[in-house]
Amino acid sequence: MMTGFWTSMRRDLVLATRHKSEWLTALFFFVMVTNLLPLGVGPEVSLLRKIAPGVLWIGALLSTLLGLQRLFSSDHGDGTLEQMALSPVPLAWLVAGKMVTHWLVCGLPVVLMAPLLGIQFDLPTRSLGILVLSLLLGTPILSAVGALGAALTLGLRGGGALLSLLILPLYIPALIFGAGAVEADLAGISPQGHLSLLGALLVLSVFFSPWVTSLALRIALE
């Protein structure tokens, strides 16, 4: 099972390196969203600090959505997904490999870029650390839950719009706890509660999402 997991992950990483524009577009979108909003609200430092957690988290959320529609569509189009379903390796393990790859390609660059973008909001060093930690816990949730939405909308006409409508409400808890952790730190309150809840959501999504997503894919293939 672990061999199938690593094989699936390695295959998608190779494909991602051959199509750099896909993950670079998501990263560029994140940078543009977080850069445009400060220009619109003005240079007031107190206001920038206040909106920083929400802006950075919303940018991460929206940039993650860009790559979700292609998560299974290309494999579905060339028949690879059917072969994965017929493989002796449980489909959930292969799906988990694709989820991890999606996070490495779309989520991890956002985590690494966030401190640099947080500086323009005049966030303190400690708050930048909390921001990185919250994104490190939260972006895998976005990939795991997003994979479920991509499986449910696979093969449907207008699946991109339907995927956004389906997934965005499910992202709200991660957004609330992730941005709330940084806001709590800025207010001088311990962010441990928010981070603990975010960690609990991460455990639940990582444990359940591959299995539920694999069931949704089998239904889509039928």
DSSP state of 172: H
Residues 72 and 219: their CA atoms lie apart, in Å, by: 14
pLDDT, position 19: 74
The closest of 121, 165, 113, 166 to 139, measured between CA atoms, is 113
Q: Give 174's pLDDT tier (boundaries 50, 70, 90).
A: very high
Q: Give 198's pLDDT tier (boundaries 50, 70, 90).
A: very high
User: Which strand (E) or helix (H) includes residue 173?
Assistant: helix 159-186
Q: Where are the alpha helices (DSSP H) in 69-158?
A: 70-78, 80-86, 91-102, 108-119, 125-152
Asked whether 168 and 89 are in contact (CB, 8 A), the reply is: no
Residues 79 and 120: their CA atoms lie apart, in Å, by: 46
What is the residue extent of each domain of the chain?
2-221
pTM of the prediction?
A: 0.89
pLDDT, position 159: 64
- For 105-121, write each residue's pLDDT tens digit: 888 999 999 999 888 88
Give yes or no for residue 203 having a pLDDT over 90.
yes
Asked whether 106 and 63 are in contact (CB, 8 A), the reply is: yes
- Tokens found for residue 175: 């957004």
pLDDT, position 8: 81
- Percent of the chain exceeding pLDDT 90 equals 34
pLDDT, position 128: 92
Residues 44 and 35: their CA atoms lie apart, in Å, by: 15
Burial 134-172 (b: 16+ CB within 10 A, else e): bbbbbbbbbbbbbbbbbbbbbeeeebbeebeebbeeebe
Asked whether 103 and 206 are in contact (CB, 8 A), the reply is: no
Q: Output the CA–CA distances (angstroms, integers) from residue 189 to 133, 166, 178, 193, 199, in the order listed.
A: 16, 33, 14, 10, 18
User: Which strand (E) or helix (H) includes residue 153?
Assistant: none
